[in-house]
């Protein structure tokens, strides 16, 4: 039976570890508890904020409404007669556990996503990606609870409409759906996804001409451990800003003034710029504001210096957006989702 806690601290429920109190908090372990939670929210007039691992979420000091943690766990790996396997994972299952389980069961396909914090549900909503692979490339379908119709729907790859850190769940048409579980398809003829520069360099330094999924997983873990702060030690939400996409004219204008700017051409003539380069070149790496800071070893990561709250992070985020806009005429967009007093993103 669903338990609802009033005035519940969220400090340990997001990887940023920001000081925050939710008006109400509950954990749903199955569709029935989700139903109960939405029924309670309707009775009380609460807005519902769904969270998974809280690794892409900024909690403001006071969160109005019900914070509902999707806690449907479980992961089943089913080998397929045509080769490869299907992974069925609960939305509340940790993505990293699914990666470990699939690789240790002998199936490659998810190893590039090793060590991304958070849950399978969060990974679907965000279409997580790392080292040249996005979740969408392994996604088959998901099941989601629709609180408006009180029905469970199945959404195909096409219906999820994945893009760069984007899915249909981030649009008004599906924002109220709660992902219950996802089916992922692991390929029969596995080949490493090793085009990403650091990964390719490390595999070649180790003379791994024919790496196994376990080799790739290990190297990804080593690279990430070197580069990224461990949220257990330093609160953070991973990359704080999306890499901005600009048209070719703007990219050429910037490249002529700043030849070292990191830029990747995209299909259709648009160009993706490295947000980390822009922040560092604007002189903001290591900058501290209140109890939040730009991580000294990686300009794209904002960190909790200890005792920070959402106001500290929001102020630092706004300052970075303003400075980068002034200096380069490019608008950075924060990646994390904000939970606060009101609806809408205030970062
Ligand atoms: C150290 C670090 C490294 C990271 N590295 C990467 C990386 O390499 N690549 C990358 O893409 N991301 C990365 N991230 C960001 C983050 O891990 C991902 O976005 C992750 O998928 C978020 O999952 P979560 O369960 O923590 O989501 P949460 O933060 O809990 O939620 C994020 C969003 O998903 C929604 N949501 C969560 N679960 C459900 C559900 N079941 N149904 C409906 N909506 C749901 C929430 O409402 C919210 O809108 C990193 C974060 C950290 C802290």
Instruction: Please tell me the residue having the least CA distance from ligand 1 atom 50.
Output: 238
Q: Which residues line ligand 1 (CB under 6 A)?
A: 15, 50-57, 70, 91, 116-119, 121-123, 125-126, 128-130, 169, 178-179, 228, 231, 236-238, 337
% the chain with pLDDT above 70: 98
335 is catalytic: yes
Start-end of CATH 3.30.43.10 domains in the chain: 5-70
Q: pLDDT digit string (tens) for 204-254?
A: 999 988 999 999 999 999 999 999 999 999 999 999 999 999 999 999 999
Q: How far is CA 14 from the centre of its chain?
A: 12
Residue 341 predicted with pLDDT over 90: no
The domain made up of 5-70 has a fold known as: 3.30.43
Task: State in Å: Cα 100 to ligand 1 middle.
Answer: 18
Pairing verdict, β 235-239 and 85-90:
unpaired
pTM for this prediction: 0.95
- Looking from the CA of residue 131, the nearest atom of ligand 1 is 8
Q: What number is the average pLDDT over the span 114-140?
A: 97
Match 């609870």 to its residue by tokens: 145
Centroid of ligand 1 to alpha carbon of 13 (angstroms) = 12
CA of 208 to the centre of ligand 1 (A): 31
Our answer to whether residue 239 is catalytic in this structure is yes
What's the pLDDT at 343? 56
Identified catalytic residue from 69, 100, 143, 165? 165
- CATH class of residue range 75-227: alpha beta
CATH 3.30.465.10 residue ranges of the chain are 75-227
Report the nearest atom of ligand 1 relative to the CA of 236.
Answer: 53
Distance 83 CA to ligand 1 centre (A): 30
Residue 61 near residue 309, CB atoms below 8 Å: yes
Q: DSSP characters for 283-301?
A: T-TT-EETTEEE-TT-TTE
DSSP string for residues in 208-237: -SS--HHHHHHHHHHHHHHHS--TTTSEEE
What does CATH list as the number for 235-339?
3.90.78.10
Q: Does residue 201 register a pLDDT over 70?
A: yes
> With left for phi above 0 and alpha for psi between -120 and 50, is residue 215 left, alpha or beta?
alpha
**Where do the DSSP E strands lie in the chain?**
5-9, 21-28, 48-51, 57-59, 62-70, 75-79, 85-90, 129-130, 133-134, 139-146, 151-156, 178-186, 235-239, 245-246, 263-265, 271-273, 288-289, 292-294, 301-304, 337-339
Task: Dump pLDDT digits (tens) for 144-191.
Answer: 999 999 999 999 999 999 998 999 999 999 999 999 999 999 999 999
Question: What average pLDDT does the structure give for the chain?
Answer: 95
Q: How do 301-304 and 235-239 pair as beta strands? A: antiparallel
Residue 120 CA: nearest ligand 1 atom is 25
DSSP-derived 3-state class of residue 48 = strand
pLDDT, residue 347, reads 53
Task: List the single range of 223-227, 269-273, 343-347 with lowest mean pLDDT.
Answer: 343-347
């Amino acid at each position: 039976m669903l338990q609802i806690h009033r005035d519940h601290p969220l400090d340990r429920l997001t990887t940023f570890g920001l000081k925050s109190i939710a008006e109400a908090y509950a954990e749903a372990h199955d569709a029935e508890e989700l139903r109960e939670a939405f029924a309670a929210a309707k009775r009380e007039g609460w807005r519902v904020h769904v969270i998974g691992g809280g690794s892409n979420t900024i909690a403001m000091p006071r969160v109005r409404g019900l914070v509902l943690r999707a806690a449907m766990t479980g992961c089943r790996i089913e080998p397929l007669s045509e080769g490869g396997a299907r992974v069925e994972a609960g939305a509340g299952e940790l993505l990293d556990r699914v990666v470990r389980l699939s690789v240790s069961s002998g199936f490659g396909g998810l190893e590039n996503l090793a060590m991304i914090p958070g849950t399978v549900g969060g990974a679907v909503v965000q279409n997580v990606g790392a080292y040249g692979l996005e979740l969408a490339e392994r996604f088959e379908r998901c099941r989601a609870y629709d609180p408006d119709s009180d029905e469970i729907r199945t959404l195909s790859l096409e219906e999820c409409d994945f893009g760069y850190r984007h899915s249909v769940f981030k649009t008004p048409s599906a924002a109220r759906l709660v992902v219950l579980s996802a089916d992922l398809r692991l390929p029969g003829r596995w080949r490493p996804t090793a085009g990403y520069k650091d990964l390719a360099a490390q595999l070649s330094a180790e003379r791994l001409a024919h790496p196994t999924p376990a080799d790739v997983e290990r190297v990804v873990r080593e690279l990430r451990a070197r580069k990224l702060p461990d949220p257990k030690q330093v609160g953070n939400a991973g990359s704080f800003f999306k890499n901005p996409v600009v048209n070719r004219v703007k990219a050429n204008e910037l490249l002529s003034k700043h030849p070292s700017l990191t830029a990747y051409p995209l299909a259709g003539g648009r160009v993706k710029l490295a947000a980390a380069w822009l922040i560092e070149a604007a002189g903001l790496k290591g900058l501290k504001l209140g109890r939040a800071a730009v991580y000294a070893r990686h300009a794209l990561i904002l960190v909790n210096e200890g005792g920070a709250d959402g106001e500290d992070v929001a102020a630092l985020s706004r300052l970075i957006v303003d400075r980068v806009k002034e200096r380069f005429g490019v608008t950075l967009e924060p990646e994390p989702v904000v939970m606060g007093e009101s609806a809408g993103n205030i970062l």
